[in-house]
Amino acid sequence: MTSFTTRTKASLREALLDAAAELLPDRGHAALRMADVAARAGVSRQTVYNEFGTKAALTQAVALRTTSEFLDGIRQRFAEAGELRAGIRLAVVYTIEHAREDRLVAAALGTEAAEDLLPLLTTRGEPILTAATQLVTEQYLALEPALPPEAAALLAETVVRLSLSHLVLPTHTAAEAADAVLAVLAPAVDRFVHSSSTME
């Protein structure tokens, strides 16, 4: 009985997140109405409030779910690469290209209606930055065990911040941006690995 209830609650939450994700690109956060999310999901407005509490919490949950999908793709790119530097390049290309294809992220980056979602990637982007940095740090340590953990974390945060910068203000192709990020990161990786090996 408990597992069925848990599955049902999870399904409800996903249905509400799906509904909000469909509405946000055209309306942004300010014009999103909980009643419209409820109608799209086929539930009462009170059900949406019971699940998320506030509209801000609902929008944040949509952003975090979208981030989770991105992180799955990044994890896959590192696994395919099998080597840190190649993994960095593949992950940056994927992040930028996928963001431009993702309806919600593309709207936040480029439409007036959804421009109030942009802070979720910038000034209020700490949850996304933290989640991405943690995943990338794990990948760096798995592919380059000689990296000190604190160096891996610093490099991971740097590449995430650079990737977000290329998303928010795109001036080059995804491949060009990835090459630039790698040009910055590769010497730093080599320096930290070399420093670690000489200390042993």
The tens digit of pLDDT for each residue in 155-179 reads 999 999 999 899 888 899 999 999 9
Query: Is residue 56 situated within a structural domain?
Result: no
- pTM beyond 0.75: yes
Query: Is residue 34 situated within a structural domain?
Result: no
CA 87 to centroid of chain Cα atoms? 17
What interhelical angle do 2-31 and 55-81 show, nearest 10?
100
Query: Is residue 156 situated within a structural domain?
Result: yes
% of the chain exceeding 90 in pLDDT: 68
Structural domain including 96 reads 61-199
**SS3 labels along 131-191:** HHHHHHHHHHHHHCCCCCHHHHHHHHHHHHHHHHHHHHCCCCCHHHHHHHHHHHHHHHHHH
Query: Is residue 125 situated within a structural domain?
Result: yes
Query: Is residue 79 situated within a structural domain?
Result: yes
Which CATH number fits the domain that encloses residue 129?
A: 1.10.357
What distances in angstroms separate CA 59 from CA 70, 104, 109, 117, 195, one per listed residue?
17, 11, 16, 9, 43
Q: Say yes or no to pLDDT of 6 above 60.
A: no
Q: How many domains does the chain have?
A: 1
| Higher-pLDDT residue of 125, 58 | 58
